[in-house]
Structure 1
Amino acid sequence: MPRTLQRTPRVLASALVSALSLLGPRMSPAQPAPDKAIQGVMNRPEFKHASWGMAFYDLDAGKVVAGVNADRLFIPGSTTKLLTMATALEVMGADHRFRTRVYRTGPVRNGVLEGDLVLRAAGDPNLSGRVRDGNRYAFVDRDHSYGGMPLDGDPLTTLKQLAQQVSSAGIRRITGQVVVDASLFPEGDRELGTRVTLSPMVVNDNVIDIVLTPGSKAGDRVTVQVLPATSYLTVHANLVTADSGTPLLVRSVEDSSSGDRRVIVATGSVPRGAAVNSRWAVASPRRFGEIVFTEVLNAAGIQAVARLGARATDSRTFAAFYTDSLMVAEHVSLPLTAEAVVLLKTSQNLHASNFPLLLPTMAKAAAGQSGFDMAREWLQREGLDTDGAQQGDGAGGDAMFSPLFMTQFLAMVAKKPWAEAFRAALPILGSDGTLALIQPNAPGAGKVFAKTGTYAKYDPLNRRTIVTGKGLAGYFTSRSGKRMAFALYVNNLAVKQGDPADVAGQALGEIASLAWERLR
């Protein structure tokens, strides 16, 4: 259960700024926290071996007013996504829209396309059923990529809309094949958190949801729903319902002889209670896209077959056909600020990991320039010292930041034209996204807008999980009216009882609420 904030009558002393203000970029590791109550959180027994870092930046005064180890590098987890998303908004533009287009490679005669149908993947992370009311993307607080429940609705909505456009173009049969051109950047690497495959082709976040719903009593058969339902994946399940309170015991074995047709055999038990999502990461998003789009086309009354597996194509194969006269369908995404909500609220790893690969393709990049090169050049143009940062992926599996750098970065972002949309896309303490269950009863609940971050690994020596990086960074306007950017990090935490990630997360949320309540 979330730890509730313990109120104390003590308010922040007027000497806070003079005693704890940063007089320069260097700080002593022994620098006290900016409040006795915050120091009390840090001094709890469970944090005996952990390392703390934090900084609070007054946006109106333009300076860091207090902190602990603010210039030291910390493992930040997914607070890295703050840089990833902001860099995309700056380089690609807040109003950028992905355009996924479908082309024909031959003429259409009497309803017959004499050639191939090619879907050109544009890197849109939301070829799914996320669109709501035509102007926003839906999300659930715990994204399905992390085992949360899938969104209500059809995950193939966007592909079905493209298929209807193909039908409206008068195409009823295709003599060639259905091909996905995923050459925008190389496909195949898996992102470092959820292990989902990176690709410019993204359907349903490149996962297939396998929802397991237990029966009403022990021994009942477990209902299995696969979303989207496709020949690409078949699930054979022999699962029974177990008593509530017992652990989930599901063993899944992939038994496949073909890269185009995957089979999962699942055995075990699911305890009575809520359904669980044993989602499966798609092995080849390009191939998945070809198969499901072909199935959608056939369902729309268009006879089609997917590209033959033995047929090789590259970025040059269809380049001559990418003209307006040969385009038969197009999906235009919502603005990039709408994607920021999905990425930041849910900490969507695949979306974030794709952006450094997308940036050089979406902007005028120099030869050999990577997305990280573009990020560094932007940050340095803005006057930030990147010695306080290290980043090797978009999601946070390979990164380090100092609290000082992170707050200065957030202060710079706060001056951008898209700053309010960026802030609004952040999880809200105790309310939504990855902060929905963090300090919901604290005084600062609903008032702190911040990105969470977690990085953990297994410790074989002690047979436990150790959280090597936990972070919280974002904005609040304090109870006294101060507009603040902040960054909080705790590294290297293991606990004797409970989940160390939850213990660290609740503590960071508690500190953020204390700072909102007390910082003057």
Structure 2
Amino acid sequence: MRDGLDRRAFLAGLGALAGTQAAAAPPAASLRPLARRAGLGPAPPGAEALIAEARLRGTVALGLADVATGRMLETVRPGAALPPASTAKAITALYALDALGPAHRFETRVLAAGELRDGVLKGDLILAGGGDPTLDTDGLAALVEGLQAAGLRAVEGRLRVWAGALPAARAIDAGQPAHVSYNPAVSGLNLNFNRVHFGWARAGADYEVTLQARTARYRPDVRIARMQIADRRSPVYTYEDRAGRDHWTVARGALGAEGARWLPVRRPALYAGEVFQRLAEVAGLRLPAPEAAAALPGGTTTLARRESAPLREILRDMLDYSTNLTAEVAGLAATAAQGARAATLAESGAEMARWAAGALGMESCRFVDHSGLGDASRVTATEMARAMVAAERAGGVRALLEDYDVRDARGRPMRDAPFEVRAKTGTLHFVSALTGYLSVPGGRTLGFAILTGDVAHRETLTRAQLDRPPGARAWAGRSRRLQSALLRRWAQVHSA
């Protein structure tokens, strides 16, 4: 199995799939399982029986397809469109690999806009982002080292930061609670997944707090975010955009003796510029406070550059850790590479939906972003299963997916199961999804999607309730048990 996705092979694979669409069409009703051959025990309950047993409020939809033939083997509610949650990242990975190629690397540069003479820059220094979602404080430190190697000792002009390689968004989903780190800003210049590390420790009757651009090697304090402890028990956090900074308060009653958490950053380019300035100062290079640059001037010289890992490695980590920022950057970059104009995440998501309709047969899908965080995205389980078939034929996404631990009827991981599942999970409150591949004894590979959602109940939740709504954990547990039950059933019924 190849680690990436070759565009020519991908398109050829889709062409081959087009000839099987009649066979791939879903049946009008779910197929009944065939009787198992002697020695393997009776057939398990049907999918509808398992769904009824799960007592899961809301809608359950599923699709199961044979990768070799494209034939849809089983469906439940094939027309039900539900939020894909983070399983959307599997489609984003295919979109980015097709548009950018598996070897694509994001580049961050430090540019000189002026003459460099005897170690002194007679002009501006520009930190120019290329969208890299993996840039961290260590990477900025490496760029500072590059400036030292280039002989830069002083800058007479400004320090400017440019983030115009990609459209900017102050948050992925405006409906999320303000403090959740998985909903940061997005821009063409990102740092530490656009998060700041908030730490606290009791000091006498009060607390010492830190806000840092923390990595394993560096812990520079930041000024673009501020934290104040408030004498209250709730809400735990409040946020205000004030005087060009992120102003946070935290409830004293919610703090223990010590602790830490990541908070989102809303001005990622200036955040990166501030940390860059601080690292340069420690290295002996004094720079002014960073300013945003609306455009890159002509005639610049590159003094230092940093390249990301290849896209296929970035996407593997994205699918493993379900990193929302990485998904948004990959999707935005793919849209730009296709020559489409998209000023917002929603517009770029719409471009991905158009691509998925043509390339994967997902004719009714809707994407409002690339990470699945926005719950207004919609897919059907049948289309997602068919997309897995198309991707597998093109050598696409299976190698990037993680092994998924199916659990037995008692909730224990089936470590020695005679089948393999590689899949992407997706979870929002009262939404749970799983899509990927099931390899069963006999060498058969099946593409599947299981979508569950109590969308009506989710829509009643306030923004504050989206943090920890009552009943959400129990609902998600029932959904995961149903997913394992379906996978166990399919592995038994469809083994050779």
- Using the aligned pairs only, state the percent identity: 21
Q: Measure how far apart 1:167 and its partner are.
A: 1.3
Q: Secondary structure at the match of 1:387?
A: coil
Q: Secondary structure at the match of 1:393?
A: coil
Kindly indicate whether residue 74 of structure 2 is the aligned counterpart of residue 66 of structure 1.
yes
Aligned to 2:339: 365
Q: Which sections of structure 1, spanning at least 5 residues, go unmatched?
A: 1-21, 129-155, 241-247, 432-437, 457-466
TM-score, with structure 1 as normaliser: 0.73
Specify which of 205, 216, 230 is matched with residue 222 of structure 2.
230
Q: Does the C-alpha gap of structure 1 residues 276 and 27 become closer, same or farther in structure 2, counting only changes over 3 Å?
A: farther
Kindly indicate whether residue 283 of structure 2 is the aligned counterpart of residue 319 of structure 1.
no
The residue identity in structure 1 corresponding to 2:371 is A
Aligned to 1:405: 383
Specify which of 158, 169, 172 is matched with residue 191 of structure 1.
172
Aligned to 2:193: 205
Q: Does the C-alpha gap of structure 1 residues 74 and 100 become closer, same or farther in structure 2, counting only changes over 3 Å?
A: same
Q: Which sections of structure 2, spanning at least 5 residues, go unmatched?
A: 1-21, 35-43, 177-181, 214-220, 458-469
Aligned counterparts of 1:158 and 1:213: Cα–Cα separation in 2: 29
Aligned counterparts of 1:77 and 1:71: Cα–Cα separation in 2: 18
Kindly indicate whether residue 285 of structure 2 is the aligned counterpart of residue 302 of structure 1.
yes
Specify which of 437, 441, 448 is matched with residue 479 of structure 1.
441
Q: Does the C-alpha gap of structure 1 residues 439 and 80 become closer, same or farther in structure 2, counting only changes over 3 Å?
A: farther
Q: Secondary structure at the match of 2:62?
A: strand
Q: Measure how far apart 1:387 and its partner are.
A: 2.4
Aligned to 1:491: 453
Aligned to 2:274: 291
Q: Does the C-alpha gap of structure 1 residues 295 and 367 become closer, same or farther in structure 2, counting only changes over 3 Å?
A: closer
Kindly indicate whether residue 85 of structure 2 is the aligned counterpart of residue 77 of structure 1.
yes
Q: Measure how far apart 1:97 and its partner are.
A: 0.6
- Counterparts of residues 446-461 of structure 1 (less than 5 Å): 447-456=420-429
Q: Does the C-alpha gap of structure 1 residues 37 and 25 become closer, same or farther in structure 2, counting only changes over 3 Å?
A: closer
Contact kept? 1:252, 1:267, Cα under 8 Å: no
Specify which of 354, 372, 380 is matched with residue 329 of structure 2.
354
Q: Secondary structure at the match of 1:160?
A: helix
The residue identity in structure 1 corresponding to 2:198 is I
Q: Measure how far apart 1:220 and its partner are.
A: 9.7
Contact kept? 2:123, 2:156, Cα under 8 Å: yes
Contact kept? 2:419, 2:491, Cα under 8 Å: no
Contact kept? 2:107, 2:305, Cα under 8 Å: yes
Aligned counterparts of 1:84 and 1:256: Cα–Cα separation in 2: 31
Aligned to 2:308: 333
Kindly indicate whether residue 43 of structure 2 is the aligned counterpart of residue 43 of structure 1.
no
Q: Measure how far apart 1:266 and its partner are.
A: 4.7
Specify which of 262, 265, 278 is matched with residue 279 of structure 1.
262
Specify which of 477, 480, 494 is matched with residue 505 of structure 1.
480
The residue identity in structure 1 corresponding to 2:148 is S
**How big is the alpha-carbon RMSD for the aligned residues of Structure 1 and Structure 2?**
3.5
- Counterparts of residues 9-158 of structure 1 (less than 5 Å): 25-28=25-28, 35-36=44-45, 38-44=47-53, 46-47=55-56, 49-128=57-136, 156-158=137-139
Contact kept? 1:27, 1:70, Cα under 8 Å: no
Contact kept? 1:345, 1:426, Cα under 8 Å: yes
